[in-house]
Amino acid sequence: MALRPCPLFIGGEWTTVSGVATTPVHNPSVGEVIAETPLCGADVVDQAVQAAAKAFPAWMETPPVERARILFRLKVLLEDHFDELARSVTTEHGKTLAEARGDVRRGLENIEFACGAPSLLMGESAENVARGIDCDSIRQPLGVVAGITPFNFPAMVPLWMWPIAIACGNTFVLKPSEKVPLTTIRITELACQAGLPPGVLNVVHGGRVAVDAILDHPLVKAVSFVGSTPIAQYVHERGTKSGKRVQAAGGAKNFVLVMPDADVSPTATGILEAAFGCAGERCMAGSTAIAIGKAADTVLPQLVDVVSKVRVGPADRDPDAQMGAVITPEHKARVCDMITQAAAAGAKPLTDGRTTKVASAPGGFFVGPTVLDHVRPGMVTMKEEVFGPVLNVVRMDDLDAAIELANSSPYGNGAAIFTRSGKAAREFRHRIQAGMVGINIGVPAPMAFFPFSGWHASFFGDLHLQGRESVAFYTQQKVTTTRWFSMGEGTIWADR
């Protein structure tokens, strides 16, 4: 099978690079290599940054309404190519077609938000802040900004970043995950078709060398990152040390509390979707369910029943597949090893994804949905982000103890509760230490006009991705204080 091209996009031109190492891009559903991503060095990153810097002055002076019109055209093009893009996500990532559609749709919502740039960039003003003195503020772009994105949402996460950044008047250098570069390439082609000027958006490929080059480059003013917590912390520390703004979203250990009064069927479905959607490869995965009181007796049997019926299969070939593969064979081995460690420590597998076989795709990287009961703090699946289809079930006596356990996690991305009690829900919302909270919603990921507001070790920085915080991140404020004199007014004493 011929490998798909993986070019760079610099200064409005598609180019290839030779003589560098590459890393494979898999179709996880079947285990085939479909492309090779070049691992570019600092010289290539510099070319992209220089192209962005060259394009910045003209783009900054482009009226926000004209920038928005280009994004409107891009939105239409992405909708016209919606199914194609969803298939691209499925092919290089392994998630189901329905999940891939959600990936693309969430990205589109961020473009829709960015199309509001003429209003989002409006400043503030006040008359007579002192006698005869007025004051106003405006927002101006930073310059060249950059994004470093993960493998798990090939469409959505890059579209969290560059549309709003360029809508604010910045130019952008994007380094997508080397595991899933193909969807970004196709979206960039459509951005060119929409009329985006050369140099406004640039795409480079690579690993740590390319990341470090972005973090150290003196012309890059801000960096957006999504990935694991150790790398997010590294990106934040190195980027801020070189004087950049950095927003770095990291990993998570999200808790789903289940009260004894929870509605059984929607709760089981909600936990199923939270734990096993996108094969658990998302920072909003509900990876630990805390069954409070008798909730385990009512909800757990139905949960196990629905989990055991999940159809695992090659997402690009089986339209009925409900869960696809994980990203690489190495990641499959890691997830299975963590299940083995937890079982050896005393966790009871009620469903065991290590034994999952898919006859129609024997080479695929499949791990079935796994429910581990009687999990205790200290077990590996409780301490570390599995990033796979594994659900811990912890049994506790009361809400206070459950909140205390959830709050003991170093992470703080999302948390949810299933209950019919308004009092319990309010108590949970008030006391839980997480930035995104769900009440009878297993995955409380906010819409594009709200911030993706992780806390603690789930986020490093001050201003979050998405929403008005992203506008603040990609702009700097200028405040002007004005006074006008009448003829002769304000003349200094020496001139009188």
| Beta strands 455-456 and 436-439, pairing class | unpaired
Backbone angles phi, psi at 209, to 5 degrees: -60, -45
Cα four-point dihedral sign 234, 237, 241, 242? positive
Q: CB-based contacts of 81: which residues, under 8 Å, 6+ apart?
A: 186, 190
- HSE-CB for 192 with a 13 A CA cutoff: 15
Examine the residue annotation and report whether 283 is marked as an active-site residue of this protein: yes
How is residue 365 written in tokens? 């990287």
Q: What per-residue string of b and e applies to 386-403 under the rule 16 or more CB within 10 Å gives b?
A: bbbbbbbbbbbeebeebb
Q: CB-based contacts of 259: which residues, under 8 Å, 6+ apart?
A: 292, 293, 295, 399, 417, 418, 419, 420, 421, 424
Which one of 6, 168, 278, 283 is the catalytic residue? Answer: 283
Query: In whole angstroms, what is the distance from residue 149 CA to residue 151 CA?
Result: 7
The phi-psi region of residue 57 (left if phi > 0; otherwise alpha if psi is between -120 and 50; otherwise beta) is: alpha
Query: In whole angstroms, what is the distance from residue 37 CA to residue 182 CA?
Result: 9
| Beta strands 475-483 and 133-141, pairing class | antiparallel
Active site residues: 283
